[in-house]
Structure 1
């Protein structure tokens, strides 16, 4: 899907919970490298410390990232741009990665109910189990959530 079509209808509402998905360029398994995964996790912490958002749950999979949070400041576009540019610069510099790290766009979904929040949070934390990376919830080292 083109990045233009992904932006149609995108709204950034302070106090709203969202789930964002960022995919590695050409589905490259960039985060098989623990150092690259650590850079993503550190950037999530930086953005939380800057009081831009409050994370609910996230997972760094080998070729993509799911991140659910409550938006506290700025827009989704600003957060996505800052996250992707900061992580890409560090991954190229510190991990020797050449070329693009991320696909141009990202996917967003607004969470509209407590039921939806719980369903999406479970989807995120269970992603490593579904992918066969671990056998049970809580074993995967590159995941965090209030329920883990």
Structure 2
């Protein structure tokens, strides 16, 4: 008998997989993409520029595939301080956590707060709203000048 992952289990798999991918474990790419339904709706609400929703696994593969390039030089990266909040809807959870770590090129650690609101149906994410500190990520990975220039353009 096959058991279907709960929304909480899916959240933890996502929170564990992203740091592994960023740290160079390319096998995580397929595992991360498989956490999502073929047709999904993923939005990064606090992105500094309007972004199209990620609607397919191909969209997600491109998104996650770019994570290692955007975070080149990361020495450590983990999702910590996880709290999962249940909602009145059994498909929906709210996951609070922080990405912590250090980049080779910087002398300070980073600690970036995040919230994910996930709708998980039949063990796969069908909808996600991700709230992360984009400026915190730019600071952590030495990209503040790049972000400022893009915002000014």
Q: What TM-score comes out, normalization by structure 2 length?
A: 0.30
Between Structure 1 and Structure 2, the one with more helix by share is 1
Determine which structure has more spread, i.e. the larger CA radius of gyration.
2
Q: What TM-score comes out, normalization by structure 1 length?
A: 0.31
Point out which structure has higher relative CO (alpha carbons under 8 A, 6+ apart).
Answer: 1
Between Structure 1 and Structure 2, the one with more strand by share is 2
